[in-house]
Amino acid sequence: MSTAATTSASHIPVLRDEVLAYLAPQDNEIFVDGTFGAGGYTRAILDAADCRVYAIDRDPDAIKRGRVMEKEFAGRLTVLEGCFADMDDLLAAEDVSSVDGVTLDVGVSSMQLDEADRGFSFMNDGPLDMRMAQSGQSAADVVNSASEEDLMVMFRDLGEERHAGLIARAIIKDRAEVPFATTRQLATLAERVLGKFYKSKKGSKKIHPATRIFQALRIHVNDELGQLSRGLMAAKKVLAPGGRLAVVSFHSLEDRMVKTFLLQESGGAPKGSRHQPDDPSGPGVSHSFKLLKRGAVKASKAEEARNPRARSARLRVGERLAEGASS
């Protein structure tokens, strides 16, 4: 068996069993795995029932792994290269107008993080790249060309970094002498400038000073929040009545977007105040989803022990309602 097949078969994605339970695959149903990655969700769905999966990914390496799995599940798996934000168009090109389930595992994959030459992680030195599609503007391009103001806003808004201005100023100063080319360069700068703010306190978990900087750059380079916003609307478009949507996210910006989408689409948005009027939605008003669980599903302690990345994972799920259905 090839390395790609072995890796795909052995990879267990975060909250796999919970995602599968909510998707509840049945024979002859059609599913979309919008973030194929190593194929963990796709394999679980295909193993659960005699169904069909259309798996989407923009990473050429993931597509190569998917081609191997296509042969294993001949006639039941189709791998599509592209962005899950465009799933409606990608499915239309395959003459598929509706599906019974969509799952998304948003953000960077474990395999991308583990590959130093992809530049997603500061744990190993490599080129400052971070491009999921392996094309377009790289993280190094952004760091070496963006203005101080743009860098500050990016680190503040996408990384939720409280000291964004300090990092932005340091980058401008350093790049005037030596342009940024590697993950180690940027991580070292973060350690130098922010190290004193990220000293671990008794009883608290220490965070690396570069964590939020790298997060912000990755989200910016790959337009991850834009992709997620458009992907949720595309899922709404392609899901048949009764179809299930399961989205796993790993940081607050993504989770907040998914939460807001499902609350608004289900009529469960927070009540207004005297400063913010109520949403006019009420009994009898049409909504597109119903919540399958109020709040987020989190990983078990056992899964967190096996995979530390699961600690930050949040799963939110909804069921597509028929057009005109009321809350």
Q: Please report the pLDDT score of residue 122 as a whole number.
A: 67
Rounded distance between C-alpha atoms, residue 238 and residue 125, angstroms = 41
Could you tell me if 205 and 238 lie in one domain? Answer: no
Strand order of the sheet with strand 30-33?
77-81, 52-57, 30-33, 99-105, 239-249, 314-320, 289-291
Q: How far apart are CA 12 and CA 252, in angstroms?
A: 23
Find the mean pLDDT for residues 288-305. 94
Query: Can you tell me the distance from the alpha carbon of 123 to that of 8, in angstroms, rounded to the nearest whole number?
Result: 23
* pLDDT reported for residue 216: 94
The predicted-structure confidence for 98-142, as pLDDT tens digits, reads as follows: 999 999 999 665 555 555 556 566 678 889 988 888 788 999 999
Total domain count, the chain: 2
80 — phi, psi (to 5°)?
A: -120, 125
Residue 147 has pLDDT above 70, yes or no: yes
The domain spanning residue 267 has which CATH number?
Answer: 3.40.50.150
Given a cut of 60, is residue 275 above it in pLDDT? no
Beta strands in 73-188 (DSSP E): 77-81, 99-105
93 and 228 both lie in a single domain: yes
**What is the model's pLDDT at position 281?**
47
Question: And the tokens for 34?
Answer: 């919008």
Task: For residue range 159-178, list pLDDT tens digits in order.
Answer: 999 999 999 999 999 999 99
**Residue 280: predicted pLDDT:** 45
State the amino acid at position 235 in one-letter form. A
Same domain, 235 and 194: no
Q: How far apart are CA 225 and CA 233, in angstroms?
A: 13
Q: Do 233 and 100 reside in the same domain of the chain?
A: yes
Residues 204 and 296 in one domain: no
For strands 314-320 and 239-249, give the pairing. Answer: antiparallel
Q: Is the pTM of this model over 0.95?
A: no
Q: Are residues 138 and 287 in the same domain?
A: no
pLDDT at residue 114 in the model:
54
Amino acid at 279: D
Range of lowest pLDDT (49-53, 112-116, 124-128, 279-283): 279-283
- DSSP track, 265-314: HHT-PPP--SSSPPPS--TT-B-SEEESSSS-B---HHHHHH-GGGGG-E
Q: Which of 4-13, 17-26, 37-46, 107-116 is predicted with the least confidence, judged by mean pLDDT? A: 4-13
**Do 217 and 234 fall into the same domain?**
no
| pLDDT of res. 125 | 85
Domain interval for residue 79: 3-111+224-320
Q: Average pLDDT for residues 189-207, to the nearest whole number?
A: 75
- Residue-level pLDDT at 115: 59
Distance (Å, rounded) from C-alpha 243 to C-alpha 13? 22
Domain termination residue (choose one: 188, 203, 221): 221
Mark whether 291 and 164 lie in a shared domain: no
Q: How many degrees, rounded to 5, is the angle at CA 120 between CA 46 and CA 10?
A: 30
Last residue of a domain, one of 194, 221, 248: 221
pLDDT band at 285 (very low <50, low <70, confident <90, very high): low
- CB 91 within 8 Å of CB 30: no
Read off the pLDDT band of 273 (50, 70, 90): very low
